[in-house]
Amino acid sequence: MTCTRHSARPASSVGRSLHPPLLPRHLIGGHVRTRNRLLAGLSALMVAGFGALAAPTTAHAANLLSNAGFESGDLSGWSCSGSTGSVVGSPVHGGSKALAGAATAGDTARCSQRVTVQPNTAYTLSSWVRGSYVHLGVTGGTATWTSSASDYTKLTVSFTTGANQTSAEVYLHGWYGQGTYYADDVSLDGPGGGDDTQAPTAPGNLKVTGTTATSVSLSWDPATDNVGVTGYDVYRGDTRAASVTGTTATVTGLTPNTGYDFTVRAKDRAGNTSPASASVRATTAPDSGGSDRFIQAAPYLYLGWGNPPAATEVMNATGIKWFTMAFILAQNGCNPSWDSQRPLTGGVDEATIKSIRAAGGDIVPSIGGWSGNKLGPACSTPEALAGAYQKVIDAYRLKAIDVDIENTDEFENAAVQDRILTALRIVKQNNPGLKTILTFPTLNTGPNSWGNRLIERAAALNADIDNFTIMPFNFGGGADMYGSTVKATEGLKNKLKSTFNWTDAQAYAHIGISGMNDSSDTGEVTTPQIWTQIRDWANAHDIGRLAFWAVNRDRPSWQFTSITAGFTG
């Protein structure tokens, strides 16, 4: 561990190869000739294609793919290898969503969909793609690819089904070690199998199964179809609010104490849509008000660095009540420990927590950070990760947890982002009243593309995050730290509003600021006067959380800690 803040560093520039991509290192060596045959075969596919060469019938201009623009906000209709696929809000070609495939050294992030087709018939497959070595094709048939598309580029292939072929699988994928690719507005034009024109029946027995101040949960009886129902669209009035494959949904981002009307429509693979279900009305719960609102002034205290101060001494000198204690990391697999070294119980960390509580305070653990062996990548499934979080919660009977998600292993990894969000949803369900915080880096204008994705996926996965805390620093030496912090926070507020359909007040209440006292990693300076300005702005806008790195660096006067203690939200 280092004594600097576990903060985001600028991503290095990676050069792009002008040659066809290679297989990952662990597949090279004895498999070189296999690799060459693979590339040669791929080239042949692009030139010649597969499929029967009998005279094709004429295709109808109809897109057979479901969720072709990923506007449902999820991967319904698609199957992606190794949890590498996700839906993002930027960059997109059309609409508001697109597919992101996080290709790694061992996985091309292949996403596919199987559709019903007619034998001996011509079809055209196309997609808008962006990234390096993005492939589009038909399993067992023709394919095409682009080596480098810095902006969205259209790929198109045509193929003819065999004499007895009744289904086809279309796919997109990147290439080993070439990073994330994007795809949008995928289209397979041609007649569906049997030219299905029969719509499903309307879903029955739509009912409300739960409400909160900002969400409504619904369930319904399944619809029927002559071929098969592939999903359901939930409408709030005339606006599509959710798309799911099952018979339950939770609509989020609603206004407290407000009535809403909901209906549901079923859809099949051919794109036929059922009549609307009977309407049901739900009223969200009243806003819980100030007494239950999540407010936390919690500067970082790091027991793994240098000569950490006594927490009770700081509390007595400043009036601070909460600390963000850093850092919970992984040890020997998916096992939580302090700094990957110290056990959760029986050591200095537990003793410190007990002393803080005895003095009338409490702590929130910071799980993750910039460096070290983190639980997000170390735990292979959301359930395993939730189990690791639960060990920390149980060890200290916690009221809140903070996941500090940074660097390429967590923040810039779509699969790990989704794993963390799903795990947080699980622990919230299993621990009523637990508050969850996400801490992540930011630009001085607001979240970057990975931050935007994190927020969008939090909404799509119904993670129910209580606070989104940004780290507004490391913009560069000489930055206006007050102005940059306010600008970054306003950018986050606007993103939360557009994603969750919140008001300004609702968005501010879900925001946190985690600054850096004195000099940052890049030489910016936040003085006590500037931190006071930031605190006063945060109080005036009723944000939910204020923190800084770190109490260890606030000696001997504890000025920044005293200022933070004046945060009221």
Strand partners, 132: 148
Helix (H, G, I), strand (E, B) or coil at 490: helix
Distances in whole angstroms, Cα of residue 334 to Cα of each of 188, 342, 371, 384: 42, 15, 16, 7
- What is the spatial distance between Cα 564 and Cα 553, in angstroms, rounded to a whole number? 14
- What is the spatial distance between Cα 492 and Cα 494, in angstroms, rounded to a whole number? 5
Helix H segments across 8-139? 32-48
Closest C-alpha to 147, from 19, 297, 40 = 19
C-beta of residue 325 within 8 angstroms of C-beta of residue 303: yes
Burial-class residue 15 by CB neighbours within 10 Å (0-12, 13-18, 19+). Answer: exposed
**Direct distance between the N- and C-terminal alpha carbons of the chain, in angstroms, rounded to an integer:** 32
Q: What is the largest CA-CA distance in the chain?
A: 86
Helix (H, G, I), strand (E, B) or coil at 87: strand
Q: Are strands 518-519 and 511-516 parallel, antiparallel or unpaired?
A: unpaired
> How crowded is residue 228: how many other Cβ atoms within 10 Å of its Cβ?
12
- Indicate if 412 belongs to the active site: no
In whole angstroms, what separates CA 63 from the centre of its chain? 28
- List CB contacts of 218: < 8 A, sequence separation 6 or more: 206, 207, 208, 209, 234, 248, 249, 250, 251, 262, 264, 280, 282
Helix (H, G, I), strand (E, B) or coil at 366: strand
C-beta of residue 210 within 8 angstroms of C-beta of residue 219: no
- What is the spatial distance between Cα 297 and Cα 302, in angstroms, rounded to a whole number? 16
In whole angstroms, what separates CA 265 from the centre of its chain? 27
Among 71, 169, 350, 406, the one annotated catalytic: 406
C-beta of residue 389 within 8 angstroms of C-beta of residue 428: no
Distances in whole angstroms, Cα of residue 115 to Cα of each of 168, 322, 391: 6, 55, 44
3-state secondary structure 520-556: CCCCCEECHHHHHHHHHHHHHCCCCEEEEECHHHCCC
Return the active site residues.
Answer: 406
